C-alpha cells in the first residue's frame, strides 16, 4: 500500500498545503519545528482515525482556526482509495471514497502504517501502559476481531467501573463480572496468539540489528493469578477475592487493561537491565516484526515511517534495518540532517522550500 498525495488544511502548522509522493516514499528534511513530524502525523491519521500524539482532535487544529481537514489518495492492494477526515472542536467526520465511516475501527481494515518513533524507547523502559498500547495497536492491525473485542471490552470495563461506584446488588455485579471475564479472556487469548508469532521474529530481528548473540524473550504477564487455560474462570475467581478492595477503590483492579508484556535479555528484564542502545534496538525490532506480521496477514506492505529514529544508530546498524525490510515498502524518513539517509535513494522533500513555494502561490 502507498499514499500518492495529500491535502492539508489547518492541521498543526499547515494552513493550506499539499504534496504528491513517489511510490518509494520520501526523505523529509528541514529544521526542527518546521513540521516534519506533523506531516507524518497527518498521513498516518487515516490508519488510526486519530493522531499518534494525542487523543484530542482539538489539539491538532491550527490555533487560529476552528477546524482541520485532510484528504489523501492511497493505493491498497492495487485499488485506489480516497480518505477524508475533518474535525472541529466538537465533531469528527471520516470518509472513504465519499462515504461516511460509521466506526473509526473500520479504518483498520484498509490502511496500515508502522510508525518508528523516538518515543518507542518508552515501550521498553516505560510503564506497562506503553507496552499495552503497543500490543493493542499491533494486534488490532493484525486481527480485526481483536479491535472489535477491544471496543466491547472498554465499554464493559467502563460500565463495570460505574457499577463499583454505586450500592450495587450482588446479583447484578455477578452478571457484569461474567461479561467482563468472558471478553477479557478473548482479548488475552488473541494477545497471546500474537505473541507466539511475534517473539521468535523479535529475537531474530534484535540479533540482526544489534549484532549480538544475547537471548531475547517476550512473555505475557497477567494482573491476576493464572496458570492454565481457564482464563475467564480464573479472572472471575480473582474478582470475587478482591471484591472489597475494588468497591473501596471504585474501579476494576484486574484484567487486560492492567496486564503487561515482559521483555527479557538473557532472562533479565530489559526495562531494568538494558542500555539505551539495546532498548533502541529492541524497539526498532518490535516495529519490524509488527510490519512482517501485517504483510503475512494482508499480503500487502504497510507504509513505514521513521521519525528520525535511525540517526542515533551507527551507519552499519541503520543499513541492517533498511536491508531487513523485505518487500516493496513506501518509506518516509523525517530528519533535520539528510546526510544520514541520502544513501537510501529516496526522493528528497525540503519542507522549507515546499512551504515557501505554497505561500508564494497563494
Give tens-digit pLDDT for 188-221: 999 999 999 999 999 889 888 888 778 888 999 9
pLDDT of res. 308: 83
Q: What is the pTM of this model?
A: 0.92
pLDDT for 263: 95
Distance between CA atoms of 294 and 141, rounded to whole angstroms? 7
pLDDT at 318: 73
pLDDT at 173: 96
pLDDT for the residue numbered 2: 96
Q: Which pLDDT score, from 0 to 100, does residue 326 have?
A: 58
Predicted pLDDT at 277: 83
Residues of the chain with pLDDT under 70: 311, 326-327, 360-362
pLDDT at 89: 83
pLDDT at 138: 96
Per-residue confidence (pLDDT) for residue 102, from 0 to 100: 86
Question: What structural domains and CATH numbers belong to the chain?
Answer: 1-112+304-362 (3.40.50.300), 125-299 (1.20.1050.90)
Amino acid at each position: 500500500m502507498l499514499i500518492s498525495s495529500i491535502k492539508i488544511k489547518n492541521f498543526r502548522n499547515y494552513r493550506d498545503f499539499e504534496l504528491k509522493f513517489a511510490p518509494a516514499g520520501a526523505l523529509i528534511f528541514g529544521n526542527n519545528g518546521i513540521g516534519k513530524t506533523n506531516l507524518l502525523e497527518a498521513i498516518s491519521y487515516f490508519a488510526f482515525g486519530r493522531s499518534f500524539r494525542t487523543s484530542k482532535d482539538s489539539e491538532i487544529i491550527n490555533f487560529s482556526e476552528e477546524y482541520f481537514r485532510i484528504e489523501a489518495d492511497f493505493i491498497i492492494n492495487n485499488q485506489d482509495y480516497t480518505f477524508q477526515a475533518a474535525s472541529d472542536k466538537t465533531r469528527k467526520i471520516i470518509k472513504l471514497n465519499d462515504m461516511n465511516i460509521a466506526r473509526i475501527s473500520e479504518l483498520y481494515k484498509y490502511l496500515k502504517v508502522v510508525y518508528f518513533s523516538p518515543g518507542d524507547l518508552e515501550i521498553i523502559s516505560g510503564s506497562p501502559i506503553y507496552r499495552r498500547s503497543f500490543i493493542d495497536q499491533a494486534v488490532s492491525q493484525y486481527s480485526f476481531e481483536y479491535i472489535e473485542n477491544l471496543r466491547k471490552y472498554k465499554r464493559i470495563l467502563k460500565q463495570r467501573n460505574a457499577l463499583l461506584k454505586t450500592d450495587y446488588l450482588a446479583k447484578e455485579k455477578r452478571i457484569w463480572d461474567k461479561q467482563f471475564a468472558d471478553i477479557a479472556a478473548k482479548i488475552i487469548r488473541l494477545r497471546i496468539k500474537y505473541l507466539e508469532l511475534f517473539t521468535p521474529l523479535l529475537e531474530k530481528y534484535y540479533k540482526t540489528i544489534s549484532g549480538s548473540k544475547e537471548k531475547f524473550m517476550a512473555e505475557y504477564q497477567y494482573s491476576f493469578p493464572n496458570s492454565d487455560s481457564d482464563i475467564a474462570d480464573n479472572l472471575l475467581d480473582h474478582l470475587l477475592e478482591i471484591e472489597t478492595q475494588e468497591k473501596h477503590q471504585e474501579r476494576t483492579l484486574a484484567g487486560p487493561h492492567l496486564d503487561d508484556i515482559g521483555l527479557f535479555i538473557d532472562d533479565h528484564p530489559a526495562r531494568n537491565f538494558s542500555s539505551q542502545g539495546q532498548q533502541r534496538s529492541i524497539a526498532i525490532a518490535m516495529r519490524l516484526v509488527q510490519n512482517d506480521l501485517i504483510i503475512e496477514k494482508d499480503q500487502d506492505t504497510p507504509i513505514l515511517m521513521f521519525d528520525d529514529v535511525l540517526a542515533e544508530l551507527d551507519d552499519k546498524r541503520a543499513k541492517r534495518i533498511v536491508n531487513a525490510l523485505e518487500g516493496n515498502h513506501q518509506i518516509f524518513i523525517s530528519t533535520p540532517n539528510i546526510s544520514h539517509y541520502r544513501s537510501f535513494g529516496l526522493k528528497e522533500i525540503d519542507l522549507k522550500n515546499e512551504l515557501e513555494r505554497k505561500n508564494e502561490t497563494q
